[in-house]
Amino acid sequence: MGVLLVVVAAYILRIEDWRSYTPLTGGGGGAYREGAEVTHREKPEGLSRWLTTVDHKDIGILYGIYGLIAFAWGGINIILMRTELMTPESVVIGANFYNSLLTSHGITMLFLFGTPIIAAFGNYFIPLLIGADDMAFPRINAIAFWLLPPGALLIWFGFFAAPLNIGIQPSQTAWTMYAPLSVEQTNPGVDLMLLGLHLTGVSATMGAINFIATIITERGEDVGWPELDIFSWTMLTQSGLILFSFPLLGSVLVMLLLDRNFGTSFFLSPGGGSLLYQHLFWFFGHPEVYILVLPPMGLVSLILPRFSGRKLFGFKFVVYSTLAIGVLSFGVWAHHMFATGIDPRIRGSFMAVSMAIAIPSAVKTFNWITTMWNGRLRLTAPMLFSIGFVQNFIIGGVTGVFLASIPVDLVLHDTYYVVGHFHFIVMGAIAVAGFAGIYYWFPMVSGRMYQRTLAKAHFWLTMLGTNLVFFSLLILGYGGMPRRYATYLPKFQSFHVIAGVGTFILAFAQLIFVYNIVTSWMEGARVESGDPWDLQDDGLKTREWTWFERKRETALTDGGEGTAADGGEGTDD
Could you read off the pLDDT of 219-261 as tens digits, one per residue? 999 899 999 999 999 999 999 999 999 999 999 999 999 999 9
Task: Examine the pLDDT at 7 and tell me if it is beyond 60.
Answer: no
Per-residue burial over 409-418, b if 16 or more Cβ lie within 10 Å, else e, is beebbebbbb
Task: Examine the pLDDT at 12 and tell me if it is beyond 60.
Answer: no
Cis peptide before 270 (omega within 30 of 0): no
**Whole-number Cα distances in Å, 264 to 105, 126, 180, 258, 282:** 29, 44, 13, 6, 22
Could you read off the pLDDT of 458-507 as tens digits, one per residue? 999 999 999 999 999 999 999 999 999 999 999 999 999 999 999 999 99
* Helices marked H in 312-415: 315-328, 344-356, 358-372, 381-404, 406-412
How far the first Cα of the chain sits from its last, in Å, is 49
Average pLDDT over residues 315-319: 96
3-class SS of residue 133: coil
Backbone angles phi, psi at 523, to 5 degrees: -130, 5
Which of 75-79, 391-395, 552-556 is predicted with the least confidence, judged by mean pLDDT?
552-556
Nearest CA to 254 among 204, 199, 203? 199
Task: Examine the pLDDT at 38 and tell me if it is beyond 50.
Answer: no
Could you read off the pLDDT of 376-407 as tens digits, one per residue? 999 999 999 999 999 999 999 999 999 999 99
Total length of the chain: 573
* Helices marked H in 222-271: 230-261
- % pLDDT > 70, the chain: 89
This prediction has a pTM of 0.90
